[in-house]
Amino acid sequence: MMENIPSGHADVFLSYSHDDRELVEKIAGLISAADFSCWIDKERLRAAEKFNSSIDIAIDDSNVFVAFLSKTYVNKPYCIHEFDLAIQREKSIVAVCLDDVSESANRQSAYMFSFCAGHDVLGFGSGINESPDGIASFAREITESVPLTQLKRFLCSGDEKDLPPIDTPEYLMARLRLYHEHQYEQSGNYALNEIRSELFPAIKNPEINILYKDDQKKDVSLVKFFSETDGQDDLHKHLLITGEGGMGKTVSLLKTCDYLLSKRINAIYVPLSKIDAGMTLDQYLARIVCGGNQSMWGVLRNLMSVPYTAVPNVVLLLDGINEISLDYVKTFVNKLNTDYINAYSGIRIIMTSRWFDASLLHCLMGNVVSLEMQALDRESIELYLHNMGLPPVTDEKVFAVIRTPLMLTLFSDVEKHRSKYQYIKGIVLEEHPDTAGKILSNFFQTQLYRAAEEDNFDQAAHLVLLEYLLPALAFKMLEKQRLYLSEDEIWRSIGEIDENCDRYTWYKRDTLRRLLRGRSRFDTEILVDLATDSLHFLHESDAGYEFLHQSFRDYFAAFHIANEMKAFAYDPDRLDDVEPVLQQTIYPNDILGFVSDILREENSRPVRTEDGWNFPGKTTISAPEKSVAEQLLSLWRTKNGDLAQNATANLINIMKIGRKGLLAWCDFSDLDLRKCWLNKCVFTVWYRDAYYPSLFDRAWIDRANFLTDGHEAPISAVAADSYAHVFTGDEAGVVKIYSLAEQSYLDTIQLQSSPVVDLALDRSGKLLAILYENIVFCYSITTKSVVKSYGNDSRSKSFRYVQFSKENEVNVSFDLEPLIWCDVHGQKLPSGLSYDVPARCARWNPQRQEFARSNLLQLLSVTRFDEDTHSWKLQTFFKNSSEDTTPHKGGDREFAPSRFQSLRDVGALGAGGICCIQYRADGARVLVAIENLLVEYDTESFNVLNRKTFSSNVRCACYREKGTAVGVGSQLVLLDPDFSEEKVLRGSQINSIRRVLEDYKSDGYYVLSSTGEIKRLNHELIVQDMRYTGITGRFVWARDRLTDDIQMAFLPLRRFPYGARYTYETDQIEPLGWRYEFLDIPTDNDEDAQRFYTMDSSLMARDRLTDDIQMAFLPLRRFPYGARYTYETDQIEPLGWRYEFLDIPTDNDEDAQRFYTMDSSLMAIERLPSYRKIEYTNYTGIWIFRCSFDEIQGNMTDHKNISFLIQNGGIIHDVSE
C-alpha cells in the first residue's frame, strides 16, 4: 500500500524532498512489499511550498516517520516543517541519507541528524547506492530498524503485548524487551555462544565477606545477589562490580537484565563503549533505547524521578566503565553522579569495570556497594575440563591463567583437539600456554584450521586477515580509545592501508608480500566478511564493527605493534620514514604483555643452571637475536625527549614483563630512561665468581627512576601553608617539607627519634611547631634552625595537639583528657572555649563555635556553643538520633547529651577508631579519618561531600590551599578538592636492617633486610653483591663438616619447618636437616584398635642414609636448630649434626672497625687514626651492584645521588672520591 491517505491510518509516513521523488518511490515500493502501509505525497500537496493539513493529519495517524535526508531536504521549509511536527508529536523517527548530506549542509537543520530510532543515521557520509541491489539493501535496512521491526511484530500477531498503546506502562516494557533482545544479539558473548552456566563466577561483597553464587549453576551470581538481598538496607544503594577481563561481567549484566525484565522491572542494559562526548548517557537513552520517541523518553525520565520503596522504577545496567575513552571517562563518572545518582530517586544503577580506580570513582562511593567477581576455583575448573574430556591441569602457571571463564573456554576449545592440530602445517601451538597471549594465539590459529574445513577455503586470505588487516583495525580502535569502528571508519582505515600510507609500508614490504604468495591483491571486502562470518572475530553492531571481546582487540592491537617492531628490527632505516607507534604513548601493561608473548620475549630471560647463568642467544652484552625489544633499544640511543622516552619505556616494559624483571647483562647506555621505573628490576646477577652487570653509561637517569625521597616510617602528622608547601612528620621523628611548586622535598628535619604527634604553622607561615610526646620545637623554615623548645612539665600525660594563638604563642593540649588548650607550661588558658568531655580525637571549629569529637572508636559527635544560652547544643543532624535535646550541665558550662554518628554508615569496616578530625580554615567542611577511609562532611548539614578509601591506613589529613594532603602509611597523597588523586609521593625504599653479621672471612659485613634481601658489604660499606631469599629470620654461620663450606643456618620457617641452610655463593637453599625425611603422624581409621592424642611438638623422621626412624624435635635451648633423638640407643644430637654452628665474631682490640646498626642504617667507625666514620643506608630493591654509570646525565649526577649509586655497588670511573 503506497498512496496518499488524507484520512485514516498508515504504518509509515515517508518525508522527502520532491527533488528526490523518483528514488524515494522505488524505496517506498520495497517497504510496501515488506507489508507496511506507507503514506507518500504522490499528489505534490507541497508543491507550492505551503503546508497542507492533510499532511499534518497523515503524520499524526502514522506510527513511524521516515525522513529521507538530502542536501535539498534540509533546506526545504516543508520538509523542515514535517520533521519538526514529527518531533512535536513524539513519533519514532528513522533518519536516512540519500546522498552525502551532513550537518554542515544547513546548520539550522543539523538537529535532524540527532533523531534516530535505535540506529545510526542510515547511509550517513555516503548516501545510497542507486543500483537495484543498493536500493534493495537500503530498503531492507529501513524495514529492519527498531520501530519497524516492533511494528511488524504487532501487525503479525495482533497481540497488544507486542505493541501496546503508547500511553501505557506496557508499551515501555515492550520496547525495553525489544531493545534488550537486540543488545543481546549484538554482544560478543552471543556470537561466542556465551559462557556456559557452570562457569558463572561467584561475586563477593568484601565489606561483609559474603559470597553469592547459584548452587544450581543456572543463573549468574548477580541474580543470586538480588534474590538474597531483597528487602535489605542496601536495597537503595547502587552497585559497582569489578573483575578482570573475561570474568563474565557482560554476561552477568545481560542475564540480570533479562531476569529483571521477567519480573516486570524496567531494566536497561547500556554498553558504555558506545558512550562518549558525542553520545552522552542521556542521548543514548533517548535516541537508542527510546528510538527517538520523545514520549517514551519523557515517561522514562518521569519513572526515574519518582522515589521507590521496595522495587526500583528503572534499573540501569552500565557495562564497562573501563571501556569509555580516557579523555571522557572522568566527565562521565562525574555526570553520572550529579545527573543520575543525585538527581533521580527512582533508579538503581549497576556498573561494571575491569578496575577500581579510587581517584576516578571516589565521588560514587558513598552511594555504591562494591562487589568483586571471583576467579574460578579449582573444583569448578577441573569439573569443566572433565566434562570436556580433558585431564586436570598440573602446570600451576597455566592454571593461574585459566581461572577466568573466557580463558578456560578458549583453552579447552584448543586442548580438546590438540592432537589433531599439532600435525597441521602452519599451526604452531604453545605447549604450555601460561599467559593470556599464548592462549589467544592458540585459539586464533585453531580457528584458522576450522575455516580450512569449509568449502573454497583461501588460506592466504585468512592469513592476510589475521596478520595484516585485523591488527591494523584493532590498533585504530586502540588509537581512538574505543572498542569499535563505524562502517565508514572501517573502510577509511582499509583505504589508508590500500593507499600505501607510510604507516603500513612495512606491512606490504614484508608481511603482506609473504602472505600474497604471487597474487596481486586481495579484495578487502571479502576479508571483512571472513572476519565476521567465517572466523567470527568481528561482529557487526549498531555502532559498526567490534571484536567479540576486549581481549581480542587488545591482542590484535599488540600484534600490530609487534609486527612493526619486527619490521624495524629487520630494517632500522625505516625509522627515517615513519613515526613508530612505540613513540606515540606508553601503552598499558595488558597490551605490552601481549606484545611480549607474541615476540616470545620470555625466551630471552636468563636462566640459572648448576654451572652458572645462561643468557639465551648471548655471548656478549649485545642484544640477542631472540629479543626484538632489546635489539630496538639501539634505535633510540643518543636521543632524548618525550618521543624517545615513550619508545624506551615501552621496550623496557616489554622486556620486564617477558623476563619477569630480570634485566641483567643488558646495554642501556645512551638511552633516555626518565620515564622508566627501574626499582626492583634486577640489573646484575652472579654465580660464584662470575658477574653479569648491565651498562648505563651516558644514559639519562633521574633519581625517581630508582627511588623516592619520601618517609621511611608511617606519616603521623601533616600540615600545609598558603605557599604550596606541605609539612609531614612520621613515627620515626622525621619531618619533611615538600614544595608543590618545585615538585620536590626541600628539607628534612629530625629533632627526636620518637613519633611526631602534631604539626602547626604560625600566621606568617615561617615558623613550624613540631610536637613530640614530651617536647615541642619551634623551627624556623627560613633559617632552618630551632628557635625555641618547650618540655612537657607533666610526667603523667603526653602532648596531643599544638597550635599558635592569635598572639603567636604556642598552645598545647594533652592526651587522656578533654580538649583543653594550655600554655607550654601546662597552665589552662584563661580565655577561649573548651569542651570538658574526654575524647580520643577532637577538634575545635572557631568559625562556627563548634566542637567535633570521637567516642567509642567509630562514633562522631558535633556540638555547637550557643552564645545566647551559654550552653552546648547538639547539631541538628545529630538530634535525629534521640528525642532528648535538653542541655545539661558539665563543669562550669552546660553541654548536650552525647549523640553520635557511626562511621560504619559511610563504609568503616574494622575495629579501629577515628584517628583524625580536621576543619577547613573557613569552618565549612571537615575531614574525618578512620582506618583506611577518609570522609569529608559539610558542617552545615553533615552530608557526605567526598569519600575515599586507601590501600593503607590513614593516620592524618589536612586541608591545603586547593585540595587536601593525606598521610597514608609512608605515602603522602595529595588530593584535588573533589578527592580525585592529584599526586602520590611514595614512601622511601629504605628498610630496616634485621641482622648484621661480620663476614666469616673478615672481609666486611652481611646485612639481612626486613624484606629478605641479603647484601655483602666491604669495609667501606659499599655493596659488593646481594641475594634475595625472602627469609627475614635470624641466622648464624655453619660449617659443613664434610665439605668444609661455610653456609648460613636459619631458624625454622614456614617453607622449612626444621630450619634451612643457605649457600650464598650459589644461591641454594635446602632444609637444614637434609639427611632426614620428616614423616607425617599416622591418621586414625576405623580399623585402629586405639586412638592416640599428641601433646608436644615432635614427630618422626627417617634417616635417609641408615633408614633408622628417629624422633625430631623443634628447637630447644640446648639445640637451637632442633634435635634428633634415637629412642633405642637413647642418644640425642643436633638435628643438623652435619653442621658445626660457629659463633658470631666478636669485637676485639685488633679489629680495624667497629660497626653499629640503627634500624635502617649501618655505621662503621675506624679504631685507628683518622677514626673515619662510614655510614650505609639500607635501600632495598636496588640491584645495580657492578653496573657501570659513567658519564650519566639527568639529576642523578649530583653528588648525593652519585654517592647513592656508588654505595649500592654502581661503578663510576669519572667521579673523584
Q: What is the pLDDT of residue 58?
A: 85
Question: What band does 658 get if pLDDT is binned at 50, 70 and 90?
Answer: very high
Residue ranges of E strands in 365-458? 368-373
Number of other CB atoms surrounding residue 240 within 10 Å? 21
Domain 2-157 and domain 169-374, same fold? Reply is: yes
Summarize pLDDT for 911-921 with one digit per residue, the tens. Answer: 678 888 999 98
Q: Give the closest residue to 1033 by CA, choosing from 1048, 1053, 1054, 1006.
A: 1053
The Cα 311–Cα 290 span in angstroms is: 22
User: What residue type is assigned to position 878 of the chain?
Assistant: F
Highest CATH level, class, for 710-838: mainly beta
Name the CATH superfamily for 169-374. Answer: P-loop containing nucleotide triphosphate hydrolases (3.40.50.300)
Pairing of strands 92-97, 64-69: parallel
Q: What is the pLDDT of residue 648?
A: 97
For the cut 60, the answer to whether the pLDDT of residue 899 exceeds it is no
Instruction: With beta carbons less than 8 A apart as the criterion, state whether 629 and 655 touch.
Output: yes
Cell of 1099: 614427630
The residues facing 926 across adjacent strands are: 919, 937
Look at 286-295, 761-770, 775-784, 848-857 and tell me which has the smallest mean pLDDT.
848-857
For the cut 80, the answer to whether the pLDDT of residue 366 exceeds it is no
Pairing of strands 64-69, 12-15: parallel
For the cut 50, the answer to whether the pLDDT of residue 893 exceeds it is no
For the cut 80, the answer to whether the pLDDT of residue 1069 exceeds it is yes
- Is residue 1105 exposed (0-12), middle (13-18) or buried (19+ Cβ within 10 Å)? exposed
Question: What band does 47 get if pLDDT is binned at 50, 70 and 90?
Answer: very low
Look at 165-174, 787-796, 1196-1205 and tell me which has the smallest mean pLDDT.
165-174
Q: Give the closest residue to 830 by CA, choosing from 809, 853, 801.
A: 809
Look at 520-534, 624-638, 941-955 and tell me which has the smallest mean pLDDT.
520-534
Question: What single-letter DSSP state applies at residue 790?
Answer: E
Number of other CB atoms surrounding residue 936 within 10 Å? 22
b/e map 939-970, b = 16+ CB within 10 Å: beebebbbbbbbeebbbbbbbbeebbbbbbbb
The Cα 738–Cα 597 span in angstroms is: 42
The Cα 257–Cα 316 span in angstroms is: 9
Look at the block and give the residue holding cell 527533488. 19
Most trustworthy range by pLDDT among 84-88, 663-667, 1080-1084: 663-667
Question: What band does 356 get if pLDDT is binned at 50, 70 and 90?
Answer: low
Cell of 163: 505493541
For the cut 70, the answer to whether the pLDDT of residue 50 exceeds it is no
Look at 669-683, 1005-1019, 1145-1159 and tell me which has the smallest mean pLDDT.
1145-1159
Q: What percent of the chain has pLDDT over 90?
A: 27
Question: What single-letter DSSP state applies at residue 695?
Answer: B
Q: Give the closest residue to 336 by CA, choosing from 316, 356, 354.
A: 316
Q: Give residue limits of the domains in the chain.
A: 2-157, 169-374, 377-454, 710-838
Look at 731-745, 811-825, 837-851 and tell me which has the smallest mean pLDDT.
837-851
Q: Give the closest residue to 485 by CA, choosing from 436, 530, 528.
A: 528
Residues 150-154: what's their mean pLDDT?
68
- Omega prior to 1170 cis, within 30 of 0: yes
Whole-number Cα distances in Å, 1097 to 641, 1111, 1122: 63, 10, 11
The Cα 1057–Cα 1138 span in angstroms is: 18
For the cut 60, the answer to whether the pLDDT of residue 504 exceeds it is no
Instruction: With beta carbons less than 8 A apart as the criterion, state whether 1181 and 987 touch.
Output: no
Cα torsion through 33, 39, 43, 46, rounded to 10: -140
Cα torsion through 1126, 1127, 1131, 1133, rounded to 10: 40
Cell of 532: 565476521
Pairing of strands 944-949, 850-855: unpaired
Look at the block and give the residue holding cell 655497588. 1209
Q: What is the mean pLDDT of the chain?
A: 81
Q: Give the closest residue to 2 by CA, choosing from 41, 59, 54.
A: 41
The Cα 1140–Cα 1113 span in angstroms is: 18
Summarize pLDDT for 842-851 with one digit per residue, the tens. Answer: 888 888 878 8
Residues 855-868: what's their mean pLDDT?
72
Residue ranges of E strands in 810-913? 810-814, 818-819, 822-823, 835-838, 842-845, 850-855, 859-866, 871-874, 888-890, 893-895, 901-902
Most trustworthy range by pLDDT among 425-439, 620-634, 1098-1112, 1170-1184: 620-634
Summarize pLDDT for 226-247 with one digit per residue, the tens. Answer: 877 765 555 568 899 988 888 8
User: What residue type is assigned to position 826 of the chain?
Assistant: G
Contacts of residue 1092, defined as CB under 8 A and 6 or more positions apart, other chains included, come to none
Q: What is the pLDDT of residue 506?
A: 58
Q: What is the pLDDT of residue 1136?
A: 76
Q: Give the closest residue to 715 by CA, choosing from 744, 742, 740, 738.
A: 738
Q: What is the pLDDT of residue 1213?
A: 81
Contacts of residue 357, defined as CB under 8 A and 6 or more positions apart, other chains included, come to none
Instruction: With beta carbons less than 8 A apart as the criterion, state whether 808 and 823 touch.
Output: no
Higher pLDDT among residues 990 and 880, named by residue? 990
CA-based torsion, 594, 596, 598, 600: positive or negative: negative
Region for residue 407 given its phi and psi (left: phi exceeds 0; alpha: psi -120 to 50; beta: otherwise): alpha
Residues 1118-1141: what's their mean pLDDT?
75
Alpha carbon 505 to its chain centroid, in Å, reads 36
| Phi, psi of 256, rounded to the nearest 5 degrees | -70, -40
Q: What is the pLDDT of residue 1148?
A: 53
Q: What is the pLDDT of residue 670?
A: 96
CA-based torsion, 229, 233, 237, 242: positive or negative: negative
Question: What band does 293 get if pLDDT is binned at 50, 70 and 90?
Answer: confident
User: According to the CATH classification, is domain 2-157 in 3.40.50.10140?
Assistant: yes
The Cα 237–Cα 316 span in angstroms is: 13
For the cut 50, the answer to whether the pLDDT of residue 1095 exceeds it is no
Element holding 925 (H helix, E strand): strand 925-930
Question: What band does 362 get if pLDDT is binned at 50, 70 and 90?
Answer: low
pTM of the model: 0.72
Cell of 516: 600474497
Q: What is the pLDDT of residue 1?
A: 36
Cell of 1071: 632444609
For the cut 80, the answer to whether the pLDDT of residue 478 exceeds it is yes
Look at 277-286, 550-559, 606-615, 882-891 and tell me which has the smallest mean pLDDT.
882-891
Region for residue 701 given its phi and psi (left: phi exceeds 0; alpha: psi -120 to 50; beta: otherwise): beta
Instruction: With beta carbons less than 8 A apart as the criterion, state whether 883 and 915 touch.
Output: no
Instruction: With beta carbons less than 8 A apart as the criterion, state whether 1187 and 693 touch.
Output: yes
Q: What percent of the chain has pLDDT over 70?
A: 82
Most trustworthy range by pLDDT among 83-87, 584-588, 842-846: 584-588
Q: What is the pLDDT of residue 962?
A: 83
Q: What is the pLDDT of residue 895?
A: 40
Residues 35-50: what's their mean pLDDT?
64
Contacts of residue 573, defined as CB under 8 A and 6 or more positions apart, other chains included, come to none
Look at 188-197, 253-262, 1080-1089 and tell me which has the smallest mean pLDDT.
1080-1089
The number of residues in the chain equals 1217
Contacts of residue 986, defined as CB under 8 A and 6 or more positions apart, other chains included, come to 708, 710, 970, 971
Residue ranges of E strands in 311-405? 314-319, 347-353, 368-373
The Cα 468–Cα 498 span in angstroms is: 12
Greatest Cα pair distance, the chain, in angstroms, is 123
The Cα 839–Cα 862 span in angstroms is: 12
Question: What band does 48 get if pLDDT is binned at 50, 70 and 90?
Answer: very low
Number of other CB atoms surrounding residue 678 within 10 Å? 22
Question: What band does 1114 get if pLDDT is binned at 50, 70 and 90?
Answer: confident
Higher pLDDT among residues 983 and 202, named by residue? 202
Q: What is the pLDDT of residue 1160?
A: 81
For the cut 60, the answer to whether the pLDDT of residue 627 exceeds it is yes
Residues 385-393: what's their mean pLDDT?
91
Q: What is the pLDDT of residue 93?
A: 83
Summarize pLDDT for 1146-1196 with one digit per residue, the tens. Answer: 455 556 677 777 778 888 887 777 778 888 888 888 999 999 999 999 988
Q: What is the pLDDT of residue 1144?
A: 47
Question: What band does 118 get if pLDDT is binned at 50, 70 and 90?
Answer: very low
